[in-house]
Amino acid sequence: MNIGLSALSDIGSNYYMRLNDKEVLVVEEDELRSHKLSDSEKKDKEIKEAQETKETSKNSSPDDLSEDEERLVRDLASRDSEVKAHEAAHQAAGGGMTGAASYTYQQGPDGKMYAIGGEVSISMKAGATPEETIANARQVATSAMAAGNPSPQDFAVASSARIMEMKAQQQLAKEQQEEIQGKETYKSQVDSSNEIKNSSTTIDIPA
């Protein structure tokens, strides 16, 4: 626990003083002089110390941070903004095909939580027709590459979407070719039928 100078007179013989890493005067038990704690007492003490550490972290202010800690906070804040902007770009470009963003957080020296990583789920599904599948694939690729600095995972998703688009285009081309061939076959059959109808046979009837 942290104490003020006015509390020094209350310190017993079972404690000693030291400066912690932030040069704050703290008082701790002298294990050589104090009585041996039971297991339950040790556990209670550990819980209490953990709570005090958490409270100290929450109540930290920028004035309490060292230069290195302040630099780390700035880096974390910059990373937080970058990550959230990156995922927002994916969501905006993905339309209804993207889900909610999820983030990985890190606590800074100031006690605040900063996003250091994130991801957005995207649904890459085939459509009812080749044309619909092509549209879906293009939407996925656009969403994956929407951020200014695409990650390796973004490139991988975009690549998969382009493969899906290519297969759909092949299927569309096949269907169009079959449709053309079907029309040609039908036309050929119609022409053949017309030729039969239009043909005439001359029959001489004796007088």
Tell me the per-residue pLDDT of 111-150, one tens digit each, with 9 for 90 and over.
999 999 999 988 888 888 999 999 999 999 999 999 888 9
- Return the SS3 of 62: helix
Residues 6+ apart with CB under 8 A from 62: 70, 73, 110
pLDDT band at 196 (very low <50, low <70, confident <90, very high): low
Give the angle subtended at the CA of 99 by the CAs of 122 and 90, to the nearest 5°: 65
Q: Are 110 and 56 in contact (CB under 8 A)?
A: no
Q: Which two tokens stand for residue 181?
A: 């061939």
Q: Report yes or no on whether pTM surpasses 0.85.
A: no
Highest-pLDDT range among 22-36, 60-74, 190-204: 60-74
Tell me the per-residue pLDDT of 157-174, one tens digit each, with 9 for 90 and over.
999 999 999 999 999 999
